[in-house]
């Protein structure tokens, strides 16, 4: 018996070595941790339970029949993050470059299916040369089965991808089907077609980093939701994000202990909106002043900065925040901002996370580039996402809410539950100057008359009271008590029940 136990230990030790000391050293040399080191940092100490450690591929071509490494390039299992269960897989680049074989895919399928069955998130750490070239179609079907499970799991359990090395070719579609993608700067990249093929086919000369590095995907393509400097920082931040999320679509996000009074008054908010309506201010300041302990996990902080999306907690409860940012493009909505916010709102709605909208929006950004780029369709995504959402929706208009943008940003008629406005709010079809130019075109040459018309319009429309008189705004509130009003509102809405009409699924304007 002693020998048998020793044999098991020896087999385990061999499997844990993956591709061996030399390849581990090469991995470290690139500033990357190994798959197992990453899981150790991601999960609570000692919580990782591994599955399928001894799985081997079944390939017999290209000498592969003599080339086996236990585990076949991916470490899978489950563990806990701050005591809450999660399923995980981490591709091991030291084993056949982390490439995906039929059996490697089956290991991932197993944890995906267990995650759905047991109602726990799945976190995939990607570091792979893509489909195992020696296996041909067997590897391709392996990928497809991973994609199929990603699709089935969407909206059932949170799925998080961390790109910690290469992710190339069709392989990128597994992370792309998950809820969030994070990347590590300078050591990860994602592209469908690599630089060499690009050079041959399109004559474009570009480095892998330029084509698909973290900067590209967090600032240009919006494929990734965030980037971190190294593996350790990335994994620590995933733990932080995980704490904001429920385990599945029937669970509620955890309520964390909080040390920040819900009725905290913040007098600095009374003077946050500048007297001059054309001057910007930083909406992030409002977000952090409302949040418990100023903790804000921002999604896509470097893309479409004219809208802020992310998670905060109020009275320990997770809230998804969507906020126009007057510092960028005066807070205008455009195609990118609409897509970014729509996707975030749909995530919150899938997982029963209430949505707080902070509104200061002068309208949709005008211009041919927007129209030609399909802003109508992209803006409709945001409208659809807000209107479809059945989670508690609290809206605070701090300043401008003009035109179509007012209609989109979670107003009463998109089933906003509680709609508040600061006294500085201006709810109208458009700003005074534009309105007077249309309504009083004949008086435009006359400065005195124009000024009188502008003053008249401002008096009538550029306030929250017209909307409040009709009940479209539930209450005009003191800026200083915004946190308290939101906290009380969310407490009221905690057990909200609202169903959409039965349908197979809607047809979101894609």
Q: Which residues bind ligand HXC (CB under 6 A)?
A: 96-97, 99, 129-134, 140, 143-144, 166, 168-171
Phi then psi dihedrals of residue 457, to 5 deg: -65, -45
How far apart are the C-alpha atoms of 290 and 297, rounded to whole Å? 13
Nearest to 46 by CA among 11, 3, 81, 6: 81
Q: Are strands 189-191 and 166-168 parallel, antiparallel or unpaired?
A: parallel
Which of residues 76 and 187 has its CB atom nearest to ligand HXC in the complex? 187
Give 62: exposed, middle or buried? Use CB within 10 Å, 0-12, 13-18, 19+.
exposed
Torsion angle of the four alpha carbons 161, 163, 167, 172, in this order, in degrees rounded to the nearest 10: 30
CB of 13 to ligand HXC, least distance (A): 21
Selecting among 405, 410, 428, 487, the annotated active-site residue is 405
Coil vs helix vs strand at 373? coil
Q: For residue 404, give the H/E element and its range.
A: helix 403-408
Dmax (CA) for the chain in angstroms is 102
Nearer to ligand HXC, 181 or 273 (CB): 181
Nearest to 285 by CA among 275, 277, 273: 273
Q: Which of 31, 170, 367, 506 is catalytic?
A: 170
Q: How far is the CB of 331 from ligand HXC (least distance, A)?
A: 40
Determine how β-strand 355-361 pairs with β-strand 49-51. Answer: unpaired
- Closest CB to ligand HXC among 146 and 397? 146
* 173 vs 472 by CB, closer to ligand HXC: 173
Give the CA radius of gyration of the chain.
Answer: 26
| 140/493 with CB nearer ligand HXC | 140
Residue 124: which of 179, 69, 57 has the closest Cα? 179
Give residue 18's Cα distance to chain centre: 32
Specify the residue, 53 or 140, whose C-beta has the smaller distance to ligand HXC: 140
d(CA 108, CA 130): 14
Q: Which C-beta is closer to ligand HXC: that of 57 or that of 381? A: 57
From the candidates 19, 129, 169, 416, give the one annotated as an active-site residue.
Answer: 169
Annotation says 405 is catalytic: yes
* 155 classed as catalytic: no
* Residue placing its CB nearer to ligand HXC in the complex, 31 or 170: 170
**170 carries an active-site annotation:** yes
Give the chain's end-to-end CA distance (angstroms, integer).
62
Q: How far is the CB of 470 from ligand HXC (least distance, A)?
A: 53
Nearest distance, CB of residue 58 and ligand HXC, angstroms: 15
- 83 part of the active site: no
407 three-state secondary structure:
helix
Query: In angstroms, rounded to a whole number, what is the distance separating the alpha carbons of residues 270 and 479?
Result: 5
Instruction: Could you list the beta-strand ranges (E) of 34-107.
Output: 49-51, 74-81, 84-91
In the complex, minimum distance from the CB of residue 174 to ligand HXC, in angstroms, rounded to a whole number = 8
Q: How far is the CB of 126 from ligand HXC (least distance, A)?
A: 12
In whole angstroms, the minimum distance from the beta carbon of 101 to ligand HXC comes to: 8
- 40, exposed or middle or buried, with CB in 10 Å at 0-12, 13-18, 19+? middle
Q: How far is the CB of 183 from ligand HXC (least distance, A)?
A: 15
The nearer residue to ligand HXC, 170 or 367, going by C-beta atoms, is 170
CB of 148 to ligand HXC, least distance (A): 11
Angle at the Cα of 381 from the Cα atoms of 375 and 383, rounded to 5 degrees: 100
Q: What is the C-alpha separation between 331 and 334, in angstroms, rounded? A: 9
Residue 348 to residue 155: CA distance in whole angstroms: 10
Report the residue count for the chain: 510
- For 333, the enclosing helix (H) or strand (E) is none
DSSP sequence for 98-161: G-B-HHHHHHHHHHHHHHHHHT--EEEEE---SB-GGGTHHHHHHHHHHHHHHHHHTTTS-EEE
Residues belonging to the active site: 169-170, 404-405
């Amino acid at each position: 018996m002693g020998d048998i136990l020793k044999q098991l230990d020896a087999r385990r030790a061999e499997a844990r070595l993956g591709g061996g000391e030399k390849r581990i050293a090469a991995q470290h040399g690139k500033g990357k941790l190994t798959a197992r080191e990453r899981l150790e940092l991601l999960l609570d100490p000692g919580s990782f339970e591994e599955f399928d450690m001894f799985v081997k591929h079944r390939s017999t071509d290209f000498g592969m029949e003599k080339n086996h490494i236990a585990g076949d390039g991916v470490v899978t299992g489950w563990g806990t993050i701050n005591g809450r269960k999660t399923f995980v897989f981490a591709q091991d680049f030291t084993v056949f470059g982390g490439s995906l074989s039929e059996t490697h895919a089956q290991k991932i399928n197993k944890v995906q299916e267990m995650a759905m069955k047991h109602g726990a998130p799945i976190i995939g750490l990607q570091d792979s040369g893509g489909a195992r070239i020696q296996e041909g179609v067997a590897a391709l079907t392996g990928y497809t089965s991973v994609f199929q499970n990603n699709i089935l799991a969407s909206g059932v359990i949170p799925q998080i991808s961390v790109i910690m090395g290469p992710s190339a070719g069709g392989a990128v579609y597994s992370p792309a089907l998950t809820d969030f993608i994070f990347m590590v700067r300078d050591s990860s990249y994602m592209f469908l077609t690599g630089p060499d093929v690009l050079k041959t086919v399109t004559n474009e000369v570009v480095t892998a980093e330029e084509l698909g590095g973290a900067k590209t995907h967090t600032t240009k393509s919006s494929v990734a939701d965030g980037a971190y400097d190294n593996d350790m920082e990335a994994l620590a931040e995933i733990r932080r994000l995980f704490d904001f999320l429920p385990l599945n679509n029937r669970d509620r996000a955890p309520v964390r202990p909080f040390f920040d009074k819900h009725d905290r008054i913040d007098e600095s908010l009374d003077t946050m909106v500048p007297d001059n309506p054309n001057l910007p201010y930083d909406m992030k300041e409002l977000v952090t002043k409302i949040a418990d302990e100023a903790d804000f996990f921002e999604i896509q902080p470097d893309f479409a900065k004219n809208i802020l999306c992310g998670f905060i907690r109020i009275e320990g409860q997770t809230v998804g925040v969507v906020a126009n940012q007057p510092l960028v493009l005066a807070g205008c909505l455009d195609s990118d901002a609409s897509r970014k916010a729509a996707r975030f709102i749909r995530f919150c709605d899938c997982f029963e996370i209430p949505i707080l909208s902070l509104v200061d929006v002068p309208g949709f950004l005008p211009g041919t580039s927007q129209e030609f780029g399909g802003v109508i369709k992209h803006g409709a995504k945001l409208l659809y996402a807000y209107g479809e959402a059945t989670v508690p929706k609290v809206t605070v208009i701090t300043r401008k809410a003009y035109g179509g943008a007012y209609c989109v940003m979670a107003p009463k008629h998109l089933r906003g539950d509680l709609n508040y406005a600061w006294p500085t709010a201006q709810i109208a079809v458009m700003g005074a100057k534009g309105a007077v130019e249309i309504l009083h075109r004949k008086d435009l040459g006359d400065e005195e008359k124009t000024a009188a018309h502008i003053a008249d319009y401002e008096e009538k429309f550029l306030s929250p009271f017209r909307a409040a008189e009709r009940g479209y705004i539930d209450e005009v509130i003191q800026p200083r008590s915004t946190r308290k009003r939101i906290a009380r509102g969310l407490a009221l809405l905690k057990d909200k029940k609202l169903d959409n009409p039965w349908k197979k699924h809607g047809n979101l304007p894609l």
